[in-house]
């Protein structure tokens, strides 16, 4: 049996073991005969917290318990393994490095990961560059500085930090109207605010949820596209 056959036979074996247990009992399914450890994988998205990105690829060989999710409440996927909004843990079987080398995954788009700049081959330079970009971006986003300062740092400092960062920034601007769209979408967390309303607020100079909530009713009612009922809903 070659390495590919061995890898996928063990993968199928793992799925069979998991399928024997219902989700009600999945909390007790912490190990099986082929699990040698766990590896954490985060979502390569602008919304992913810094702590998740920094732990991407982290491996634990402790199979006595299921690992906890990083940077978010613990949750289990349909297969009973830890899976959340920002990342998930996958079981390791002891031959991943051999498989990665044989499959040349850093050059193979079959194994590419989805991201905010398109699919990225794992273990590639582009993956490293984008993860570093995301970490630096999240440092700015998660800081306590003003929204105006955040926008300045992203547009005039982060965007020129390296040639790789320049390319990533340009791609995000062209495809997602970055960084305005990122912060504008946060306004959608307000009651009754959809993307259209968020755009109206943003273009009117309200760049954060706090700015909207702290604005007097008499000020907001002057904005075209905002009605009395919507403003009251936002405020409540």
Mean pLDDT of residues grouped by 10 in the chain (236 residues)? 47 39 45 83 98 97 93 93 96 89 86 96 96 98 98 98 98 97 97 96 97 96 94 92
pLDDT for 76 equals 93
Edge-to-edge strand ranges of the sheet holding 59-60: 59-60, 37-42, 87-92
Domain range summary for the chain, segments of one domain joined by +: 3-103, 129-176, 182-235
Classify 182-235 by CATH class.
Answer: mainly alpha
Indicate the pTM of the whole model.
0.83
Q: Tell me, what's the pLDDT at 34?
A: 83
pLDDT for residue 170: 98
Taking the C-alpha atoms of residue 145 and residue 104, their distance in angstroms, rounded to an integer, is 42
Task: Give the pLDDT score at 31.
Answer: 53
Distance between CA atoms of residues 72 and 142, nearest Å:
15
């Amino acid at each position: 049996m070659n390495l590919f056959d061995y890898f996928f036979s063990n993968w199928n074996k793992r799925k069979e073991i998991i399928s024997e247990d219902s989700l009600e009992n999945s909390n007790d399914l912490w190990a099986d005969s082929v699990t040698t450890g766990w590896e954490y994988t985060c979502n390569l998205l602008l919304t992913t917290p810094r702590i998740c990105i920094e732990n991407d690829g982290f491996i634990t060989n402790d199979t006595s318990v299921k690992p906890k999710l990083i940077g978010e409440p613990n949750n289990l996927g349909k297969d009973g393994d830890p899976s959340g909004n920002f990342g998930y843990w996958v079981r390791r079987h002891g031959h991943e490095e051999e498989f990665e080398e044989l499959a040349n995954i850093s050059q193979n788009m079959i194994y590419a990961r989805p991201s905010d700049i398109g699919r990225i081959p794992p273990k590639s330079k582009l993956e490293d560059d984008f993860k570093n970009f995301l970490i630096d971006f999240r440092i700015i986003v998660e800081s306590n500085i003003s929204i105006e300062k955040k926008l300045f740092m992203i547009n005039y400092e982060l965007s020129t930090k390296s040639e790789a960062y320049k390319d990533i920034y340009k791609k995000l601007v062209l495809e997602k109207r970055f960084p305005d769209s990122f912060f504008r979408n946060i306004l959608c967390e307000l009651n009754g605010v959809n993307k259209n309303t968020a755009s109206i607020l943003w273009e009117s100079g309200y760049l954060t949820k706090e700015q909207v909530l702290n604005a007097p009713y008499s000020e907001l009612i002057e904005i075209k596209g905002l009605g009395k009922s919507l403003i009251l809903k936002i405020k409540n």
